[in-house]
């Protein structure tokens, strides 16, 4: 027997998130609270697929037409967490970006004390695609180090390193300049695990005193001022991702 075909359409929580109401997880909560209707009937489970022919309502209001996918460069300042909510009450990236962006998600994250390039998008599927290690995209950082270091020390990272059972892939680190115990280096890596650069530098006896991401794959921080956002034209990022034009026209054409 041939395998059963996949149900048409997308999961209802995904459709709600794409309309900019909330995240997919929060959309599932709305469903369980009985606040979502499909074609006039209250939805009981998030495991429901919908198509363009269905009418979805949240709190009795129909969903707005989903906007085409967009991508922005954001110069994240030091001292912001890359989450929508923080249990410690710290300032977040998403509370500080311009409101006209609507609801956006980040492509990966930057730590609280890490600055620099953070990509933002209104399409969660695009974000996940860009985050995958299979994309092969290199993340580039400028790192200020405290401690005695030579290029030979940094070259030890080129073959990868294991710390407390966690295996980190190859890291290319080039010493830019040193003065006493203070140095600057350019660090490139493919995967970017949580606090990876800080942990591997600590293994070398170094302290990271400043960390600035300058590139994520083909996208550069450039001269974008701290705290500012700039949209990347759709034709550029679609080309980099190998995505053809969608049914909706690109916003910049």
| pTM for the predicted model, two decimal places | 0.79
Residue 253: the pLDDT is 40
DSSP for residue 83? S
| Ramachandran quadrant class, 79 (left: phi over 0; alpha: psi -120 to 50; beta: rest) | left
111 is an active site residue: yes
Judged by DSSP in three states, 129 sits in helix
Q: Is the pLDDT of residue 150 over 50?
A: yes
Which structural domains are found in the chain, ordered by start?
Answer: 10-62 (3.10.290.10), 71-134+218-241 (3.30.70.580), 138-216 (3.30.2350.10)
Residue 113: the pLDDT is 93
Residue 43: the pLDDT is 93
pLDDT in tens, 186-222: 999 987 788 899 999 999 999 999 999 999 999 999 9
Q: Is the pLDDT of residue 23 over 90?
A: no
- DSSP track, 175-220: EEEEETTEEEEEEEESS--TTHHHHHHHHTT-EEEEEEEEEETTEE
Residue 7: the pLDDT is 67
How large is the average pLDDT for residues 6-21? 79
b/e per residue 4-15 (b: at least 16 CB within 10 A): eeeeeebbbbbb
Residue 244: the pLDDT is 59
Residue 172: the pLDDT is 96
User: Which residues are within 8 A (CB) of 144 and not within 5 positions of it... i.e. 6 or more apart?
Assistant: 182, 183, 184, 208, 209, 210, 211
Q: Is the pLDDT of residue 153 over 70?
A: yes
How large is the average pLDDT for residues 85-95? 90
Residue at token pair 């969660």: 124
- By DSSP bridging, strand 207-216 and strand 114-121 are parallel
Question: What does the mean pLDDT of the chain come to?
Answer: 88
Residue 17 vs residue 43, higher pLDDT: 43
Q: Is the pLDDT of residue 6 over 60?
A: no
Beta bridge partners of residue 24, listed in sequence order: none
From the candidates 86, 111, 153, 250, which is the catalytic residue? 111
Span of 62-71, 82-91, 115-124 with lowest mean pLDDT: 62-71
Q: Is the pLDDT of residue 251 over 90?
A: no
Residues counted in the chain: 253
Residue 25: the pLDDT is 82
pLDDT in tens, 93-138: 999 999 888 888 899 899 999 999 999 998 888 888 888 777 778 9
Residue 253 vs residue 78, higher pLDDT: 78
């Amino acid at each position: 027997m041939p395998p059963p075909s996949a149900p048409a359409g997308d999961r209802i929580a995904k459709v709600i998130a794409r309309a900019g109401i909330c995240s997919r997880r929060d959309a599932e909560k709305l469903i369980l609270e009985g606040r979502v209707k499909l074609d006039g009937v209250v939805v009981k489970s998030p495991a429901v697929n919908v198509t363009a022919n269905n009418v979805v309502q949240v709190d009795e209001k129909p969903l707005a037409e989903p906007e085409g996918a967009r991508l922005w460069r954001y110069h994240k300042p030091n001292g912001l967490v890359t989450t929508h909510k923080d249990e410690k009450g710290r300032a977040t990236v998403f509370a500080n970006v311009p409101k006209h962006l609507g609801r956006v998600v980040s492509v990966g994250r930057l730590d609280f004390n890490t600055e620099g390039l953070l990509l933002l998008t209104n399409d969660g599927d695009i974000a996940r695609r860009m985050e995958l290690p299979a994309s092969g995209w290199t993340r580039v950082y400028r790192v200020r180090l405290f401690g005695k270091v030579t290029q030979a020390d940094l070259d030890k990272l080129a073959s990868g390193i294991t710390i407390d059972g966690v295996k980190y892939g190859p890291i290319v680190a080039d010493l830019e300049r040193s003065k006493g115990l203070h140095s600057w280096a350019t660090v490139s890596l493919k995967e970017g695990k949580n606090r990876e650069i800080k942990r591997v530098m600590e293994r070398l006896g170094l302290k990271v005193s400043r960390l600035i991401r300058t590139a994520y794959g083909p996208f550069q921080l450039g001269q974008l001022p701290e705290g500012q956002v700039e949209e990347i034209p759709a034709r550029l990022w679609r080309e980099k991702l190998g995505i053809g034009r969608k049914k909706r026209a690109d916003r910049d054409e």
